[in-house]
Amino acid sequence: MGIGYYQAMYNHVFVAGTFDGMHRGHEVILRRAFIEGEHVTIGVTSDAFIKKFKFAQLDKLAKYSKRKKDLETWLRVHEKEAMIVSINDPYEPAASMADLDALIVTRENRNTGERINRLRQGSTLPCLALIEVPMVSGEDGRPISSTRLRNGEIDRNGRLIMPDSMRAELARPLGIVLSGSRIGEAIKNHRENLIVTVGDIATETLVKHGTIPSFSIIDQKVNRNAHDTLAHLPDTLLRNSIKVKSGPGYISQEAIKAITTWVKKPTTTLLVVDGEEDLLALPAIIHAPRGSILYYGQPNKGLACVIVTNEKKHEALALLARFS
């Protein structure tokens, strides 16, 4: 089926997979199949195939009926038509379907596509064009996969997810917790340092003490409730604001990019997060110049003050590495 003005290059395209969890990587592969082919057949690995060839994953993967149903839902939502077949062999039915003329592959399974073509040659069937589709990377640069999705490392869009086991650990401050008059004293002592704040109350607190942070990260919420933070901030911060999406429970690549862009040119910047800003203290510590001071809130306790050192960068890196 052609799409818009685009004329499909092939008459019949075959694409195969387990399709467990239907993530963004699956969607990219399927969309490419529909762009390239007038007709599309989708092979879904059967439960018997998984038992025989992917025994280690047997208890983790959804049953064939569930995976097929999810695929049918995706096709219906995206107004696509395709024939779905069960796969019981690594090379069939693609090796023996006479009317096929193209096969979707990735770099990881291209060898399987080449083997299918050798089998077709032995059966005097024409070889299939191998359409290689790049693997879709998650926000940590590693490919999105159903395995990573099942392990809770990423969500369906490849965003890094904080494991539940880390919640208590991340609640512990990475620096000294200040309260009362100690907050004002610390801010006064650190006026000459590059200041970073993460959190609405932390940012407002610095402003109330006469210090404009060089980089502030807010989400316009306090204790998960809406808070009109922008009304309490000076024009110095407001006139150079950037909006990104991140959280809750994950760190987005666009938020990390905003932080690294600021580091290259540390002019006064306000990062307004659509989601939740809490976890962004980690990449802020990792990327901020050594000697910077980072303040972030500790609910009902005060402000955590982190002096950015190599040791603190390594500590933050170790925590972030556990997201993936």
pTM: 0.58
pLDDT of residue 157: 72
**Tens digit of pLDDT per residue, the chain (324 long)?**
444 445 679 999 999 999 988 888 899 999 999 999 999 999 999 999 988 886 555 567 889 999 999 999 999 999 999 999 999 999 999 999 999 999 999 988 999 999 999 999 999 999 999 999 988 877 666 777 777 766 666 677 776 666 666 777 777 888 999 999 999 999 999 988 999 999 999 999 999 999 999 999 999 999 889 999 999 999 999 999 999 998 887 888 889 899 999 999 889 999 999 999 989 999 999 999 999 999 999 888 899 999 999 999 999 988 887 775
Query: How many CB atoms sit inside 10 A of residue 290's CB?
Result: 11
pLDDT of residue 251: 84
pLDDT of residue 1: 43
Pair of tokens at residue 112: 């399987």
Q: Where are the domains of the chain?
A: 10-158, 166-321
How many Cα atoms are found within 13 Å in the side-chain-facing hemisphere of 69?
Answer: 5
Q: How far apart are CA 276 and CA 50, in angstroms?
A: 39
Q: How far apart are CA 156 and CA 23, in angstroms?
A: 4
Reference 63, options 51, 73, 53; nearest CA is 51
Q: Which residue has the tokens 């590495």?
A: 321
Terminal CA-CA length for the chain: 38
The second-level CATH assignment, the architecture, of 10-158 is: 3-Layer(aba) Sandwich (3.40)
Residues 6+ apart with CB under 8 A from 68: 19, 44, 84
3-state class (DSSP) for residue 22: coil
How far, in Å, are 88, 91, 117 from residue 121 at the CA level? 21, 13, 6
Residue 313 C-alpha from the chain's centroid:
22
**Strand-strand pairing, 83-87 and 37-45:** parallel
pLDDT of residue 117: 97
Reference 108, options 12, 25, 8, 50; nearest CA is 25
Q: Which residue has the tokens 């997201």?
A: 323
pLDDT of residue 150: 66
Q: How far apart are CA 213 and CA 159, in angstroms?
A: 28
How far, in Å, are 71, 151, 164 from residue 81 at the CA level? 11, 31, 39
Q: Are 42 and 84 in contact (CB under 8 A)?
A: yes
